[in-house]
Copies of this chain bind each other. A is one copy, B any other.
Amino acid sequence: MGSDEKYWLGFDLGGTKMMATVFDAGFKILGSHRVKTKGREGTREVLDRIIETIQESLDDAHIKAQQVGAIGVGCPGPLDLDRGIILEAPNLGWKNVPLKETLEKAFGCSTVIANDVDSGTYGEYRFGAGQKARCLIGVFPGTGIGGACIYEGRIFRGKTSSCMEFGHIQVQPEGRVCGCGQLGCLETVASRLAISAEAAAAAYRGEAPHLLKMAGTDLSSMKSGVLAKAIAGDVIVERIVRNAAQHLGRAIAGVVNLLAPDVVVLGGGLVEAMADLFLGEVRKTVDARAMKAFTKSLKIVAAQLGDNATVMGSAALAADAGNGIQ
């Protein structure tokens, strides 16, 4: 490795935790650091914590800031991608935070920001389950449902911000109230949070005794792992998950008819915790609903990078920007 070798830094800014990871030119992990975000403490505090976390990861990797080629950050949106500003991050209480400028000042190297789901999907495209796909769709059911599209090697994006708002595909015109103000968006029926709410109601009614014993009726205890365990004992929880996966499958079928992807990657804690059940149901539904011309060569697979997807994708985007690719 020559002394002019460049290193890339990927950062994942989440609502509950943040993580910085240092990569060598071949995207091998050299060091990493992860802490709680504590968004309530205020913008300046969180920005300082981001800088500290990056510094810790550099120390962990025995790399100096001057050796970093560029920093890539996956953030919640909406963003101004070109100016590198987080326009709004409700989880962090942020408005118009110039993250790119802040990090460029702190570390003296160029910084790119991207939507976190875009970064994660790009990570899977470069290093994970979606490698070499001509058109890759990433779908991540969590509190909401994140979506992204990598088309011919580049993130499909809006003019100034990210797009592919998968969770807000309307699946029930007269359905439940969504956080976005509309009725019946996909995430009101197929997110981990929607599944948790439905499972908690079943527990409350006495129909899911195993779940009730493990988690009570509090949504904040209904994590993916708990739901996965409950399935073994509570038939109704399995039905709730299958029903949600079918909703997701129908929405994916619609996107397949529009964009004809080669690969759909499903990721996030929920999918990881019950990959066979969830993917099986999604595959069956998409096969039944999408057009044969598009399903015959389509692969629907589980994400491979887990929590590393966003830092890896962000670091790769930072490297691409240096090479004028993205």
Contacts and interface: CB of A to CB of B under 8 A. Distances in A.
Interface residues of A, number: 34
A293 B77 CA distance: 11
Interface of A: 78, 134-135, 147, 151, 156-159, 161, 163-166, 168-170, 173, 180, 182, 250, 253-255, 257-260, 262, 289, 291, 293-294, 297
Contact of A262 (B135, B159, B173, B297): B159
Nearest to A259: B163
Contacts of A260: 157-159, 161, 163
Contacts of A173: 250
Contact of A147 (B170, B253, B258): B258
A258 B170 contact: no
B258 A291 contact: no
Contact of A293 (B78, B135, B182, B254): B78
A134 B159 contact: yes
A156 B255 CA distance: 13
A297 to B, nearest CB: 7
A170 B172 CA distance: 11
B156 A257 contact: no
B257 A165 contact: yes
A294 B163 contact: yes
The 8 residue pairs across chains A and B that have the minimum distance between CB atoms: A158-B260, A163-B260, A165-B257, A168-B257, A169-B254, A164-B258, A78-B293, A134-B159
A26 B170 CA distance: 44
A177 to B, nearest CB: 14
